[in-house]
């Protein structure tokens, strides 16, 4: 009698189920990604489930701007004069805007005669030769230079001293005097470990500075992997000038981004980009130390800024999709999907993601008061901040080489 060989069962499976074997081998190949052909090739990729509100629940209740008023009434400003103007600020004399650029500079607008001038840099290592790339500053050509040149993100003036505080993605929290120059580092470490991705800040009336540290695993050049993984190592930090110490206020956050104190400073709001939400942290009163989700958002929020009425403008890269929700809730699918040897742009397109700008105004309780959209990307495709200043909205972007403005409130609805 003929004996079945040691590998007889395996041979039989290959013979009778070749398609299943090919599929299994393909899955193994994709999971291993030996040639680093995928968007995450060569990285330790550990996706986790997001804490994001259900897509249908959010999108059914979210008010839409069917007239796309931002796109139809907005105006392009300073085209190819500023490169990735992420945050916009004005000094006590009304000069500005001041903005941080992708080439590592903080610049300010001095009017038509003078134009833009360099106000500050975040490191003495900065040089025009090493750092300035013009319109290419907002492309991946600049990313490998950011650690040297710096990438100033959130900006805030101290109203009494005139000092400008800067959250730089690589150099941490810094300050520069009213006359500008090289900024002085204030906080680069917390509890003995580096602050890897300082993002935005606000200044309390007692002098303390609250700021976000977006991730303990990824820096700004690799920020997209924070979103892909859903990792939550971000923190809310506080710097105390009298003691020159930095403290952890909150941790375990998923891409903490923009931050804004309330008008009475009893609480602050911050955005969690990965989880698509606006969050409140109480500083005073019976809820001191408590955290509340005040609004679930249709897309990925960046900065949040207050207006004179105590309302909050939130910049949102819109919108989430049903396919993206499936990936968010199933880390194992993400682990396979983003290991496919396909460019990231095509993977995103397959999920139906076509980003455009939404800016929204909220009250203190998280109620939506107004929504303005630019569905066709006429003035802004990707948005980072909205500032309401003297009858105008100033709109910044980390991705493009211009600023957008919009007369506000709109007289022609």
pLDDT in the model for residue 14: 44
pLDDT digits (tens, 9 = 90+) for 48-106: 998 999 999 999 999 999 999 999 999 999 999 999 999 999 999 999 999 999 999 99
Across 68-131, the runs of DSSP E, i.e. the strands, are: 75-77, 88-89, 98-100, 105-109, 116-121
Q: What is the pLDDT of residue 118?
A: 98
Q: Which two tokens stand for residue 218?
A: 């990824």
Task: Please say if the pLDDT value at position 391 is more than 90.
Answer: yes
The tokens for 359 are: 């800016």
What b/e sequence results for 83-99 when a residue is b if at least 16 CB atoms lie within 10 Å of its CB, and e otherwise? Answer: bbbbbbbbbeeeebbbb
Q: How many helices (H) and strands (E) does the chain have?
A: 10, 27
Give the model's pLDDT for residue 30: 53
> Exposed, middle or buried by CB within 10 Å (0-12, 13-18, 19+), for 20?
exposed
pLDDT at position 211 over 80? yes
H helices present in 85-200, as ranges: 128-131, 143-149
pLDDT of residue 413: 56
- Per-residue confidence (pLDDT) for residue 73, from 0 to 100: 97
| pLDDT higher than 90, residue 338 | no
**Taking all residues of the chain, what is their mean pLDDT, rounded to a whole number?**
91
Helices (H), 338-379: 344-350
Mean pLDDT of 236-251: 98
Q: What is the pLDDT, as a whole number, of residue 33?
A: 56
Alpha-carbon distance 265 to 204, whole Å? Answer: 7
- pLDDT reading at 230 higher than 90: yes
Confidence of residue 18 (pLDDT cuts 50, 70, 90): low
Distance between first and last Cα of the chain: 89
Please say if the pLDDT value at position 8 is more than 60.
no
Residue 48 CA to residue 297 CA, distance in Å, equals: 20
Q: Average pLDDT, stretch 319-323?
A: 91
DSSP state of 391: T
Adjacent-strand bridge partners of 194: 189
For residue 342, the model assigns a pLDDT of 85
Q: Taking residues 391-412, what's their average pLDDT?
A: 94
242 pLDDT above the threshold of 50: yes
From the centroid of its chain, how far is CA 358? 14
**How far from the centroid of its chain's Cα atoms is residue 275's Cα?**
12
Lowest mean pLDDT segment, chosen from 177-181, 196-200, 203-207, 337-341? 337-341
Helix or strand holding residue 312 (H, E): strand 312-318
Q: What is the pLDDT of residues 38-51, one digit of tens each?
A: 777 777 889 999 89
Over residues 303-330, mean pLDDT: 95
The answer to whether residue 217 scores a pLDDT higher than 60 is yes
What's the confidence (pLDDT) of residue 2? 44
């Amino acid at each position: 009698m003929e004996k079945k060989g040691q590998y007889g069962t395996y041979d039989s499976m290959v013979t009778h189920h070749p398609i299943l074997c090919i599929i299994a081998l393909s899955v193994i190949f994709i999971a291993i990604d030996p040639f680093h052909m995928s968007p995450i090739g060569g990285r330790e990729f550990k996706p986790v489930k997001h804490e994001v509100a259900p897509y249908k629940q959010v999108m059914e209740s979210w008010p839409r701007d069917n007239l796309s008023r931002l796109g139809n009434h907005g105006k392009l400003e300073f085209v190819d004069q500023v490169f990735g103007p992420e945050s916009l600020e004005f000094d006590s004399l009304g000069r500005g805007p001041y903005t941080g650029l992708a080439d590592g500079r903080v610049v300010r607008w001095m009017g038509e005669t003078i134009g833009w001038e360099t106000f500050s840099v975040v490191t003495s290592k900065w040089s025009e030769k090493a750092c300035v790339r013009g319109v290419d500053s907002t492309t991946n050509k600049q990313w490998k230079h950011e650690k040297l040149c710096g990438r100033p993100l959130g900006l805030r003036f101290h109203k009494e001293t005139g000092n400008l505080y800067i959250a730089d993605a690589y150099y941490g929290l810094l300050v520069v005097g009213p006359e500008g120059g090289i900024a002085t580092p204030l906080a680069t470490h917390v509890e003995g470990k580096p602050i890897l991705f300082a993002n935005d800040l606000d200044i309390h009336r007692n002098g303390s500075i609250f700021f976000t540290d977006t991730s303990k695993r990824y820096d700004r050049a690799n920020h997209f992997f924070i979103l892909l993984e859903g990792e939550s190592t971000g923190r809310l930090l506080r710097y105390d000038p009298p003691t020159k110490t930095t403290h952890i206020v909150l941790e375990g956050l998923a891409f903490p981004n923009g931050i804004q104190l309330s008008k009475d400073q009893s609480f602050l709001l911050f955005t969690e980009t990965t989880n698509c939400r606006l969050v409140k942290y109480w500083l005073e009163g019976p809820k001191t130390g408590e955290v509340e989700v005040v609004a679930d958002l249709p897309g990925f929020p960046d900065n949040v800024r207050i207006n004179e009425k105590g309302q909050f403008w939130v910049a949102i890269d819109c919108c989430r999709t049903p396919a993206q929700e499936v990936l968010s809730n199933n880390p194992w699918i993400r682990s396979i999907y983003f290991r496919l040897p396909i460019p990231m742009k095509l993977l995103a397109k397959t999920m139906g993601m076509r980003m455009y700008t939404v800016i929204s105004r909220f009250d203190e309780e998280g109620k939506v008061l107004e929504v303005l959209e630019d569905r066709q990307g006429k003035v802004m495709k990707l948005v980072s901040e909205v500032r309401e200043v003297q009858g105008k909205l100033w709109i910044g972007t980390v991705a493009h080489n211009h600023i957008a403005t919009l007369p506000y409130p709109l007289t022609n609805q």
